[in-house]
Amino acid sequence: MATILMTGAAGRIGTLLRHHWHNTHHLVGLDTRSYKPLENEEAYPVDIQTTELWTILASREIKDRLGEQSPVLVHLAAVTWDTAGWTHIEETNIRGTYNVLSVAKDIGASRVIFASSNHVTGGYGDWAPGTRSQIFDLPPTVTANMPVRPDSLYGVSKAFGEALSAYYAWKHHLPVICLRIGSVTNRNDPRENPRLRSTWLSHRDLCHLFDCCLAANVQFGIYYGVSNNTRRFWDISNAERELNYRPQDNAELWYTEKGKTDGQSP
């Protein structure tokens, strides 16, 4: 049973992962919002912008619970909308990510899983198949090793987080996996809008991807998190090769007659 420290534990992805992991791992959830912890979970209110994170994770209570074990730190907390303004984005996504990685190094975390975003490369063009290459003269598939091209200040902040993660991985020998996560919806239904036919990441594939990150022997890497969608335009070959990621769900199958009539995943 691993110990997993999770920022943003009360959010959409954090809640999915907590329900997926609480029977198999010891969870320590960290969030500005209060929530009811599950079995094998502790919850702490914390603001990652401040030194509160150090105070909590360096406390005798946490150290006693960790013992000699090196925890995994899953960093999900973020401001995800540009309308919040640059000040809030900077405080949470830049200063907060620096605090998280610094704490991970200080407490001897075995690895960090950093929730980056597809918005780091969102500037490569439209989602529609064929449109990007026809209008923008761009390659048909966006890979993890292409130059960043953020589509928003949020994307800029996540690109910073990836660069900072690389610094901690190579300078401070802290393994970090960066996931450019696709579209995770509350209802887990890719028919909510047409773009999801390309960008959908199902709940099942999301949890599988994070399981792969727990098991992988990777010092540093950047990977796209998207389901096995027929129309996807993000390359996942390095995730398949290095993380053993094998997504099972395909948004296109939801548009079959069966999907239209019963509203269920095929």
Residue 249 belongs to a domain:
no
> Does this model's pTM top 0.95?
no
Query: What is the per-residue pLDDT for 44?
Result: 85
Residue 169 belongs to a domain:
yes
Q: Are strands 26-31 and 3-7 parallel, antiparallel or unpaired?
A: parallel
The CATH number of the domain holding residue 148 is 3.40.50.720
Residue 197 belongs to a domain:
no
**What is the side-by-side strand order in the sheet with 111-117?**
41-45, 26-31, 3-7, 72-75, 111-117, 176-181, 220-225
**Contact assessment for residue 102 and residue 166, using Cβ atoms and an 8 Å cutoff:** no
Q: Report the number of distinct structural domains present in the chain.
A: 1
Residue 147 belongs to a domain:
yes
Instruction: Write the pLDDT tens digit of every residue in 144-187.
Output: 999 999 999 999 999 999 999 999 999 999 999 999 999 999 99
The CA distance from 155 to 123, in Å, is 9
3-state secondary structure of 176: strand
Q: How confident is the model at residue 69 (pLDDT cuts 50, 70, 90)?
A: confident
Q: How confident is the model at residue 97 (pLDDT cuts 50, 70, 90)?
A: very high
The CA distance from 219 to 117, in Å, is 19
Any idea which residue has 């991807």 for tokens?
Answer: 209
Q: How confident is the model at residue 264 (pLDDT cuts 50, 70, 90)?
A: very low
Average per-residue pLDDT for the chain:
88
| Higher-scoring residue by pLDDT: 258, 214 | 214
Residue 68 belongs to a domain:
yes
Q: Is the pLDDT of residue 31 over 70?
A: yes
Question: Domain range for residue 156?
Answer: 3-123+142-188+203-228
Residue 108 belongs to a domain:
yes
CA dist 41 to 45, 66, 103, 145, Å?
A: 13, 13, 20, 36
Residue 255 belongs to a domain:
no
In terms of Cβ atoms closer than 10 Å to its own Cβ (0-12, 13-18, 19+), residue 177 is buried
Told to judge if 154 belongs to the known catalytic residues of this protein, a careful annotator would answer yes
What is the average per-residue pLDDT within 91-99? 93
Given the residues 35, 44, 124, 154, the one annotated as active site: 154
Query: What is the per-residue pLDDT for 160?
Result: 99
Residue 264 belongs to a domain:
no
Q: What percent of the chain has pLDDT over 70?
A: 83
